[in-house]
Structure 1
Amino acid sequence: MNQLARTALVLAGAGAGAAVLRKAASARRRAREDGERWMVVTINRAPTDVMPHGDPPSPLDEFGDALEITVRPAPGDRGTELAARLREPASPASASLPSRLAGKDPRQGVRRALREAKSLLETGEVMLPDAPPTGRGDTVGGKVVGLASRRAGGEGVL
């Protein structure tokens, strides 16, 4: 291998290494920012109906002082935005994939509570999806679907 080829190989390796380091730093920064990010749902009700006495709607009231909650009119006069975030950001370890899969990420409870509050305020009850027939657990595929369905409750998109 001549000198020019070696130089090109070293430069390519250094570039790839720099890209990996940049990607890792970006992932750490994003994980830190996610812990401080507001989770928001739009509710088809007036702001005075969402928090009439300044108390958070059920089930958000279960968190007590652990949550910051804001209510503001939604853009375009389309209801109300109910936003919540943890006062103490989740640790990077609790936000990791294994923790999320085990259901130990504290943000999952906030997501679930926001969805349930939206459902209660709009319909008067917590709406649950019908169980898929493949989730019976009789087969390997059914067990996988059942596991994914149970874990999806905390990971839903807001």
Structure 2
Amino acid sequence: MTSNQHGTASLAARAGGAVVHGIRSVLDHAGSGPGSGAPASGWLAVTVLGEPSDVDAAPLPAPLAEYGDRIEVRTRQAPGGKGTELAARLRDRSSGGSGSTARHLSGSDPQADLRSALRRAKQLLEVGEVLAVDPAPHGERTATPGGLLLEAWTRVAPKGGVR
């Protein structure tokens, strides 16, 4: 490739990147905020093993019932007939704007709390209890760099989902 062709290709790549960045910023502002990771509609969903008639949204499982009227809940057949989709979203979704990353890191992110409640509700519906892993069954971990990192991930994981 000649230097002229290289320069043209580099310019085209930068222009393409600028277009993609522009489109993403427009979509982020139309959705629930940059960095929130939530769909624009605000619905968070889990697939529960069982028929829709078995998963009744009227008596909400305890983790979702705690939200009361602050959430909307719906159930429907999961895609491909693979169980039931249990979905919930916050009625007041104005909290997803600027500062959502700071709220998420501080542990006070309402969207992450709802995501965690949905996962616990799924466990209650499928198994009958919320399953928890005890990260240190034989006492405290040794204060090694790996142990400290694992402890930090364990503290954050229930709020943010799978890490």
TM-score normalised to the size of structure 1? Answer: 0.73
User: Contact 2:72–2:88 (CA<8 Å) still a contact in 1?
Assistant: yes
Residues of 2 paired with 1:108 and 1:37: CA distance?
A: 12
User: Contact 2:71–2:89 (CA<8 Å) still a contact in 1?
Assistant: yes
Residues of 2 paired with 1:19 and 1:149: CA distance?
A: 38
Q: Which runs of 5+ in 1 are unaligned?
A: 1-7
| Aligned counterpart, 1:39 | 44
Identity among equivalent positions (%) equals 40
- In structure 2, relative to structure 1, the CA distance for the partners of 1:48 and 1:73 (3 Å cut) is same
- In structure 2, relative to structure 1, the CA distance for the partners of 1:73 and 1:24 (3 Å cut) is closer
Please give the secondary structure, in 2, of the residue aligned with 1:81: strand
Q: Which runs of 5+ in 2 are unaligned?
A: 1-7
Q: Following TM superposition, by how much is the alpha carbon of 1:127 offset from its aligned partner in structure 2, in angstroms?
A: 1.0
| Aligned counterpart, 1:28 | 29
Q: Following TM superposition, by how much is the alpha carbon of 1:35 offset from its aligned partner in structure 2, in angstroms?
A: 6.1
Matches within 5 A, 1:1-158: 15=15, 18=18, 22=22, 23-32=24-33, 34=39, 36-51=41-56, 54-89=58-93, 90-96=95-101, 98-131=102-135, 136=141, 138-156=143-161
Q: Following TM superposition, by how much is the alpha carbon of 1:120 offset from its aligned partner in structure 2, in angstroms?
A: 0.8
TM-score normalised to the size of structure 2? Answer: 0.71
Paired letter, 2:152: L
